[in-house]
Chain A
Amino acid sequence: EAQVTQNPRYLITVTGKKLTVTCSQNMNHEYMSWYRQDPGLGLRQIYYSMNVEVTDKGDVPEGYKVSRKEKRNFPLILESPSPNQTSLYFCASRGHPAGSQYFGPGTRLTVL
């Protein structure tokens, strides 16, 4: 089954404790990205990648890191999480410039 997977689905952590949210797609898609969804602010892009070793900032990159060492994986790293990063995070992928984004199931992150 073609899909985008994220792990973990739910995470509660404390301020300053480094964490990684994994994202994997099995569709051989070139483009991958991360979004966060917040009440009243909607969905905003954090980072995206057009191919292996190629990443770029989205609209709200501060406090996040990403890497794209393999085509199928695009982890999101929070090196020192803060409470304002409490949010619902989505990974998405698409196969080509004209393609549609397909989203993973989301990761609910709470930073205390």
Chain B
Amino acid sequence: AQTVTQSQPEMSVQEAETVTLSCTYDTSESDYYLFWYKQPPSRQMILVIRQEAYKQQNATENRFSVNFQKAAKSFSLKISDSQLGDAAMYFCAYRPGGDADGLTFGKGTHLIIQP
């Protein structure tokens, strides 16, 4: 069974600084997808960024980028120029390729932005 581990229950960063959230996963599959979701106090689950395992290039979405290390099974999220609106729970998630639908989530990292 796949597992996703987020080892940082909470992180704090100064506004405008850069922060990196860690995620490791365990799988025997070669085809899979990785995601970061943001859950603000509204509880909405918002897709931040995704990475396909077959792509070597790290995904980037504006201030958000990932460091995907396939051999190490590591998938960290970097947030540049942190803003107060980035404060939220961040969840790393894994999904195998093909028709499999279920996302396996990590326990989450609570990100605090200090003004």
Mark A residues whose CB is within 8 Å of B: 31, 33, 35, 40, 42-43, 45, 48, 50, 58-59, 88, 90, 92, 94, 97-98, 100-103, 105-106, 108
Contact = CB atoms under 8 A, between A and B. Distances in A.
Contact of B107 (A35, A42, A88, A108): A42
A98 B44 contact: no
Given A88-B43, A105-B44, A43 B99 contact: no
Q: Is the interface of B mostly helix, strand, loop or mixed?
A: loop
Q: Is the interface of A mostly helix, strand, loop or mixed?
A: strand
A37 to B, nearest CB: 8
Interface residues of B, number: 23
Given A42-B108, A103-B44, A103-B45, A98 B52 contact: yes
Query: Which of B45, B47, B97, B99 has most chain A Cβ within 10 Å?
Result: B45
B110 interface: no
Interface in B7-65: 33, 35, 37, 42-47, 50, 52
Contacts, number: 56
B98 A33 contact: no
Given A98-B52, A101-B47, A105-B44, A48 B102 contact: yes
Given A42-B105, A42-B107, A100 B97 contact: no
Contact of B35 (A88, A90, A100, A108): A100
Contact of B103 (A50, A97, A98, A101): A101
Contacts of B42: 105
Query: Which of A45, A58, A98, A101 has most chain B Cβ within 10 Å?
Result: A101
Contacts of B103: 35, 43, 45, 92, 101
Nearest to A31: B101
Interface string B85-113: 00000010001011101110111100000
B99 A33 contact: no
B105 A43 contact: yes
B8 to A, nearest CB: 15
Nearest to A32: B101
